[in-house]
A and B are shown apart, each in its own frame.
Chain A
Amino acid sequence: MKIMPCPLNGPRNISEFTYGGEVRAMPDPARASVAEWADHVFNQDNPAGVVREWWMHNASGYWFIAERHTVSDDILRTYDPSEIFRERVEFAAAPTEGTPS
């Protein structure tokens, strides 16, 4: 079986993990227009090449980031999200008016 090098648990069968989508910046939900929000929710780059993506180790519930080539399926690097998310993200409550309905 293909092996995923988990930054927390070490090398493990890939069947122990769940794929969680491309890593991308989220627009401010309180301020994004409906079109921007739809673009963020649905659209994906889906490139053929190296992609930075979220993965979770199911048993330990640990989320991390993997750089994987989507043609060769080589996993080039895995690391803890703290490597790129250095600050805590606060989600401000959306104002009631002007929210997408």
Chain B
Amino acid sequence: MPLSLLRLGFSSEIKPDFPPPPAKLKPSYDVVIIGGGGHGVAIAYYLAKYHGITNVAVLDKGYLGGGSTTRNTAVIRSNYLTPEGVKFYIESVKLFRELSNEFDFNIMYSERGQLTLAHTDATVRAFRQRAEVNRHFGGRTEMLDRKQIHELVPLLNLDTGHMPILAGLWHIDGATARHDGVAWGYARGAIQRGVEFHPLTEVTGFDIENGRLKAVKTTRGTIQCGCAVQAVAGHSSLLLQKAGIRAPIHTYPLQAMVTQPVKPFLDQLVSSSALHCYVQQTGRGEILIGGGSDPYPLYNTRSTIDLKEGLLAHAIEMFPFFANVKLMRQWTGITDMTPDYSPIMGLSPVENYYLDAGWGTYGFKSTPICGKTMAELVASGGKVPELIAPFGLDRFSRFQQINEMGATAASH
């Protein structure tokens, strides 16, 4: 970063460093990646940089990062519940820490720590378990009592309505990063190495013969491919149906909002699953507020006043002074939820068609490790890396779910 910044500072003209999209689709690619969100371009990046596979096309029906990649609240953490989940997310946190160097481009990774609040004894017990599991695999997590919480976040109201705060789970590794920067960094690195990024190219169907994918049909013509990966998050089910694959995914909207900027008052990410609400202050001073999903499935990024009202009521319980702050923007993304709140990665019933789906409300933090392991899977022609083996689609027919519901509900 510093070197290229210096170079830019001395140069008289600043050119956008993104090359224009290639005009034409080639008739065939070794790898077709469907979905140009963070996940799609991360897979392309690791394929090109670490496996020398560059005859790759990333196709997106819209534009780079136009899905949930640039709508999320950018929480990065590893304090999940299951050993499988924690091991996986810890590797992602490690990659995130190095990402600005890897890209030579600042993704504004900011390790601010995440404080999750317990309002019941049952949650306190669950937190103890999460702290132990996280520490066991090398994460940094501690339990805090009320006094320590007050010292850490003095403006937080400890006596929230009928449910006073009993304890906190303090995850020192909790962080945020600039989500569009992550997508740009991966896309730029992939394109520089020869990967093609095609916006406005929607995948509409597949040519599958004897359980093998031959070609991908798009709104700009049919392309042959050696293999394909789907990384379309909220649209996962629609593409799976076209490939004839059944999966346990439901699509729910997830809403978020920011207030007008205020003076810096909150360094940590603060989250309460009992209040279905989490709060953080952005680098620009805005208060970012997020919460649980909509109450029923929908493929639509509309927002609702009712959800916003409920979320704000809880945010005000946590930080009463928010009542005087004005909302500035609000938005929604659609999320592909699985019944066990864990992702679906790996093989599919179609031999050379790989899945990167089921990311629900927690897929931003996994972008680097998912890209890296999915690239290994693709490059090896279908050998599933150990780290993602537990997350295969077939876990549901073996009744071997990885239950992360309690560690996911309102802190993504």
Which one of A23-31, A45-53, A78-86, A89-97 contacts B? Answer: A45-53
B399 CB contacts on chain A under 8 angstroms: 38
For the complex with contacts A1-B304, A38-B398, 12 further pairs of A-B residues with Cβ separation under 8 Å are A1-B305, A2-B304, A14-B295, A18-B295, A19-B295, A19-B297, A34-B397, A38-B399, A42-B339, A44-B250, A46-B249, A48-B251
Provide the bound-state CA to CA distance between A47 and B250, in Å. Answer: 9
A 52-71 contacts with B by CB, 8 A: 70-71
What total of A-B pairs shows CB separation below 8 Å?
A: 57
Consensus secondary structure, chain B interface: loop
B246→A39 contact, CB < 8 A: yes
Given contacts A43-B247, A73-B302, contact A35 B237 (CB under 8 A): no
By the criterion of a CB under 8 Å from any partner CB, how many residues of chain B are at the interface? 24
**A-side interface size class:** 20 to 34
Interface residues of A (CB under 8 A from B): 1-2, 14-15, 18-19, 34-35, 38-39, 42-48, 70-73
Provide the bound-state CA to CA distance between A72 and B295, in Å. Answer: 16
Contact with A along B241-266 (1 / 0, CB 8 A): 10000111111000000000000000
Among all A-B residue pairs, the 5 with the closest Cβ atoms: A42-B248, A19-B296, A46-B237, A43-B246, A42-B396
Of listed B297, B302, B396, residue having the most chain A CB within 10 A: B297
Given contacts A1-B305, A15-B306, A38-B397, contact A48 B299 (CB under 8 A): yes
A44→B249 contact, CB < 8 A: yes
B155 CB contacts on chain A under 8 angstroms: none
A71 CB contacts on chain B under 8 angstroms: 298-300
Cβ-defined partner of A72 (8 Å) among B250, B300, B339: B300
Provide the bound-state CA to CA distance between A35 and B246, in Å. Answer: 12
A45 CB contacts on chain B under 8 angstroms: 237, 241
